[in-house]
Amino acid sequence: MATGIPTTTAAEPAAAAPAWPQHVDAWLALVADWRWAMDAQLRIVRVESLRPDQPLPMLDALLGHTPWDSPAFQLPVAQWRRHQRVLWAHKPFRGLELAWRLPGRRARWCAISGVPQFDARGHFAGYVGLAQDITARKRAEVALRETRAELDATLRALPDLMFEIDRHGVFHRVYTPDVGLLAAPADAIVGHNHRDLLPADVVAVGEAAMAEADRHGHARGYRYSLDLPMGRRWFELSVARKQAHGPGPARFVMLVRDITALKQREDELTELAFIDPLTGLANRRLLLDRIEQAVLRQQREPSWCALLFIDLDDFKQINDRHGHPAGDTVLQALGQRLRGSVRATDPVGRLAGDEFLALLTDIGQAPLRAQRVAMRTARVIVQAMAEPVPVRDHTVQPSCSVGVLLFRGCQSLPALLAQADELMYRAKDAGKGRVIVRWYGRGGPAAVPAPDL
C-alpha cells in the first residue's frame, strides 16, 4: 500500500484474499479505524490500521481465525449464529458490535461492517470491510445505565412522588413508589393536562408553585389535600425549574410528599394547644384571640356586637354531690348546647372552670335591633342550659347566669371582659337563670341600661 500507514498481514493462506479498491485510503480514515479482509472460508486474513493512533493488538488472536473462533472477540452465542447465517449466505452486513477482550486490560468495542467479494467467474472470494472503535460510546452507555440504575434505586428509596410537568400543565413523566397515591394511573397522566386530572383547588396550588419556581428557580412548602380511594390524603409540594433545552414551554420537576401522618399530628397538637379537651370548644387562649380579632374588625365596621359571659349556677354543688366525673359530663353536655345556641360564625368557648364566653358579631347597626338579637340569643342559651342532663342513674338540673355587654367600635378587650364579668355576677345575685344586658360606651356603661331579664 502507498498510504504510509503501518500494515500487518498474516502468512498467505492457500486462497488469495480479495484486494481492496484503490484510491480510497484517505476517505476511509475519516469513517473507520481499521479495515479487514476474510477469505472464502471466512478466516480473517488481513487487518490494517487506517489511523496511526489506533494500534492493532492481539493480531495472533485474529489472523487465521474465523470471528467466532477468535479468542479476542466476544458475542453471545445466539448473535454469533445469526451472523454466521449472514456470512454463509454471502450477504453484506453493517454495524455488528463486538467486544474485544485484551489480557489485563478493559474490554474495547468495535462496530464491524462488511461486503462480500466475488471473482471474475462469480465465485465467492471472501469479505472486505471496515471496523470502528466504539469503546468510548459503549463505556458512556454503560455509565449511563449505571447512573440510571443508581437513580432508579435512589427514587425507589424515596417516599416521594415525582412528576415532570411543563408550564402549560402537561405531564411528561411520572414516578411513584405507591400507585395508590396517584389520582389516576400513570399511563393516564403522561401527556395529559393537570386541569383534566385534578380538582381546581389542587391545580391552583400547583400553578402557584410553578409560578414561584419560574421566578426563583424553586418553590417549597405548598400543601394540598386530595380525596383518593384510600381516603383523604395531604401532600406537600416542592418544585424546581429545569434548565431549558430548545424551544417549548418551560418544564418543572415536582416532588410530592405524602404528609398525611404529619398533618394529623399537627392537627392533634393544634387541638391540644387551642381546644378545650373536655368540651371540644375553643380554650381560653384561642377564644380570647378570636374575640380580640373580632373586636379589631369593628374598627372598620359600624355594626354592634355583644359579649356574653356565661356562668353555671351552683356547679360546685354538682361536683360535691355527684362527683367530678358527673360534673365533667354536665360540662360536656352544656358546652355542646352552647355551641348549638349561637351562629357557627360566632366565637364561643370555655374560659375556665364553669365559665363560658360567646361573642355575637354583626348583630345590626341599629342599637335596639342589636339589643333584641342579643337578648333573644341569651334566652335561647338560658333555656338550653336548663334542660336536664342524664348522669348515670339520675339527672342533673343545671342553670346559668348570663351577662350581656353590647358594644361597637374599637374597645379594650380587658375592659370588655371586666364589664361582662361584672354583669354576669349581677345576674347571679338576681337569682338563677337570669340575664342582664347593658350598653358599653366609649366612656363606660351608658346611663340608661337595657331592661333586666
Residue 166 placed within a domain: yes
- Does position 296 have pLDDT exceeding 70, yes or no? yes
Q: What is the mean pLDDT of the chain?
A: 85
Last residue of a domain, one of 218, 243, 264: 264
pLDDT of residue 445: 40
Same domain, 132 and 223: no
The stretch 342-357 carries a mean pLDDT of 92
Q: What is the mean pLDDT of residues 337-366?
A: 92
Task: Return the CATH number at 169.
Answer: 3.30.450.20
**Do 316 and 223 reside in the same domain of the chain?**
no
Residue 448, pLDDT score: 33
Among 217, 241, 264, the domain-final residue is: 264
CATH code of the domain in which 440 resides: 3.30.70.270
Read off the amino acid at residue 361: T
Residue 336 lies in a domain: yes
Same domain (yes/no): 366, 424: yes
Q: Are residues 426 and 298 in the same domain?
A: yes
Last residue of a domain, one of 198, 231, 264: 264
Q: Clarify whether residues 256 and 308 are in a common domain.
A: no
Residue 219: inside a domain: yes
Q: How confident is residue 451, by pLDDT bands cut at 50, 70 and 90? A: very low
- Looking at the structure, do residues 330 and 425 belong to the same domain, yes or no? yes
Closest CA to 276 of 211, 186, 185, 357: 357
pLDDT of residue 126: 95
Torsions phi, psi for 427 (to 5 deg):
-65, -40
Contact criterion met (CB below 8 Å) for 124 and 18: no
What average pLDDT does this structure show over 157-167? 85
Evaluate whether residue 362 is within a structural domain: yes
Neighbours of 408 (CB within 10 A): 22
Structural domain includes residue 343: yes
pLDDT of 70: 80
Reported as a single tens digit per residue, the pLDDT across 24-53 is: 666 777 788 888 999 999 999 998 888 777
Residue 207 domain flag: yes
Q: Are 412 and 421 in contact (CB under 8 A)?
A: no
Three-class DSSP labels, the chain: CCCCCCEEECCCCCCCCCCCCCCCHHHHHHHCCEEEEECCCCCEEEEEECCCCCCCCCHHHCCCCCCCCCCCEECCHHHHHHHHHHHHCCCCEEEEEEEECCCCCCCEEEEEEEEEEECCCCCEEEEEEEEEECHHHHHHHHHHHHHHHHHHHHHHHCCCEEEEEECCCEEEEEECCCHHHCCCCHHHHCCCEHHHCCCHHHHHHHHHHHHHHHHHCEEEEEEEEEEECCEEEEEEEEEEECCCCCCCCCEEEEEEEECHHHHHHHHHHHHHHHECCCCCCECHHHHHHHHHHHHHHCCCCCCCEEEEEEEECCHHHHHHHHCHHHHHHHHHHHHHHHHHHCCCCCCEEEEECCEEEEEECCCCCCHHHHHHHHHHHHHHHHHHHCCCEEECCEEECCCEEEEEEEECCCCCHHHHHHHHHHHHHHHHHCCCCCEEEEEEECCEECCCCCCCC
User: Using CA atoms, how far apart are residues 71 and 341, in angstroms rounded to an integer?
Assistant: 94
Q: What is the pLDDT of residue 56?
A: 65
Of 138-142, 177-181, 205-209, 445-449, which range is least confident? 445-449
Cα angle for residues 130, 136, 141 (degrees, 5° grid): 110
More confident residue, 301 or 290: 290
- In angstroms, the CA 90 to CA 58 distance is 27
Residue scoring higher pLDDT (12 or 337): 337
Task: Calculate the CA dihedral of residues 326, 327, 333, 334 and round it to 10 degrees.
Answer: 160
281 and 403: one domain? Answer: yes
Mean pLDDT of 82-88: 92
Number of domains composing the chain: 3
Position 68 in a domain: yes
One domain, residues 307 and 426: yes
Mean pLDDT (whole number) for 154-171:
85
289 and 430 within one domain: yes
321 and 369 together in one domain: yes
What does the pLDDT read at residue 300? 73
If asked whether residues 223 and 280 sit together in one domain, one would say no
Please tell me the distance from the alpha carbon of residue 217 to that of residue 210, in angstroms, as a whole number: 9
Percent above pLDDT 70 for the chain: 88
Q: Domain span at residue 120?
A: 7-139
Quickly tell me which residue has 465465485 as its cell: 123
Same domain (yes/no): 14, 118: yes
- Domain-embedded: residue 146: no
The arithmetic mean of pLDDT across residues 5-15, rounded, is 46
